[in-house]
Structure 1
């Protein structure tokens, strides 16, 4: 699930690898969600294509912001970028691995198991002195067939009426979680799972410690786990961290707080 910059550097010319620049940001004000194509146009890892996470891989007709795109839309995008079901996809961002993790999850949801995340993101790549350019590449179209895997996604009813032995993890920052969360959810902030200096995921030992500090014992997890956040994006950082620890196929509540928080019928808790 995670690849080091040295590995990617050694495989830059591999025709079966597609590098995806999916840089963006999330603001605390409206409009909240932004992509950063201007950064890509200025400089990117050689051979990388760009995906706008706010438009390209979401359903723009859905009333809930940034819910995953339809199989048809997702298939068309991947095919246009020269990505088949067998292509290794290495995604990178500069926002705590949120958007690269989201793309890796989206690929898994649609049956593609070759999605990887560049540890340390673009900033780490540049800091290490690795090559960048501004050439916009073009690739021959390939066929991608998106086949949904419902076991990797949950809706609001499935979250509200989950079994009592289900572990619900909220990946938002603590100050956001405190203002309102789904009752019973444990806050495992995505920021606690990476090194703030390098942008890389913590070691397995330190990941376990971060989960333990949040009240989650990795060595005695229940079989059922669901992750959520504001829009199903930072939750995938938690999913990635669990994957590093060998805990795979964790579903995401895609609507997350964007849906739940605005639904007056859904129960809510808060700390402040």
Structure 2
């Protein structure tokens, strides 16, 4: 697990539609993951929603608690990514190997499914996908739901970190001048404090509020253009962050849809940066 993967080994994990997933519900090589949750503006901020899974979920789906299962609970920075050992054990216990296709869904603007897919990619998994529109869209389209909790045979998942996909505070602060730094938080949150040089591209501007699906490529380009980012002339290095490295992965997904596969996430994000008196900060 200590091995480090090469940059060229990771491909972007594309979104999939509900029709595709419905057609593949019985595929033994696919594992569906319900990772529903929410983020509050007040403490405690981060919540998973196992109660929603218990009421209804996509048939065959397993549940992952994004606040505990895929994070390092010993890290003083909230919701930072779990260690390779913990992540490998979780995936293995859910019947997920490095060759298993994972389809993740949530109902919070694709934040948690994007976070899981990014985490899988960081650990070398190249077959993770996001269910476009999440569970709400699945139900809206009249597709089946279930209450049974499946049990799968254990498989072997080996986490191989790909460091270029995850950045530290020092790497952000001392980044090269040509690095594009994107803040995925809502504008009202960004205005209260942000990393100097960051451009605010709210994750909510990248999805359709009615369907929960990602915007078309043309509309995604417009969303980026609206904040001064030209998709056709992006720099080589791009880092995304937010409050906890979660909504930032929605931006990563959007850029992936537009063809950029090598986007980094500052995992500590504002949870770490904002509380450190030694880090420079700006306000609107």
Range class of TM-score, shorter chain: over 0.9
Q: Partner of 2:172 in structure 1?
A: 159
- The counterpart of 1:91, out of the listed 100, 104, 109, is 104
Q: List per-residue Cα deviations over 1:47-95 (Å, max 9, x = no partner).
A: 0000000000000000000000000000000000000000000000000
- The counterpart of 1:131, out of the listed 144, 162, 175, is 144
Distance in 2 between residues matched to 1:214 and 1:199, nearest whole Å: 21
Q: Aligned ranges for residues 59-74 of structure 1 at < 5 Å?
A: 59-74=72-87
- The counterpart of 2:240, out of the listed 209, 217, 227, is 227
Normalising by structure 2, report the TM-score.
0.95
Q: List per-residue Cα deviations over 1:188-241 (Å, max 9, x = no partner).
A: 000000000000000000000000001100001110100000000000000000
Task: Write out the 4+ residue segments of structure 1 that deviate beyond 6 Å after TM superposition.
Answer: none
- The counterpart of 1:250, out of the listed 252, 255, 263, is 263
- Which runs of 5 or more residues in structure 1 are unaligned? none
Is residue 36 of structure 1 aligned with residue 49 of structure 2?
yes
Distance in 2 between residues matched to 1:48 and 1:97, nearest whole Å: 17
What displacement does 1:46 show?
0.1
- What SS class does the counterpart of residue 114 from structure 2 fall into? helix
- The counterpart of 1:57, out of the listed 66, 70, 73, is 70
Is residue 113 of structure 1 aligned with residue 113 of structure 2?
no
Q: Partner of 1:4 in structure 2?
A: 17
- What SS class does the counterpart of residue 190 from structure 2 fall into? helix
Distance in 1 between residues matched to 2:231 and 2:193, nearest whole Å: 25
Q: Aligned ranges for residues 192-271 of structure 1 at < 5 Å?
A: 192-271=205-284
Distance in 2 between residues matched to 1:224 and 1:52, nearest whole Å: 31
Distance in 1 between residues matched to 2:88 and 2:279, nearest whole Å: 33
> Cα RMSD (Å) of the superposition?
0.3
Distance in 1 between residues matched to 2:280 and 2:159, nearest whole Å: 34
What displacement does 1:149 show?
0.5
- The counterpart of 1:45, out of the listed 34, 58, 83, is 58
The number of residue pairs the alignment matches comes to 271
Distance in 1 between residues matched to 2:15 and 2:163, nearest whole Å: 24
Q: Partner of 1:148 in structure 2?
A: 161
Distance in 2 between residues matched to 1:267 and 1:85, nearest whole Å: 40
Is residue 170 of structure 1 aligned with residue 183 of structure 2?
yes
- What SS class does the counterpart of residue 179 from structure 1 fall into? coil
Normalising by structure 1, report the TM-score.
0.99
What displacement does 1:249 show?
1.7
- The counterpart of 1:82, out of the listed 84, 95, 99, is 95
Q: Partner of 1:17 in structure 2?
A: 30
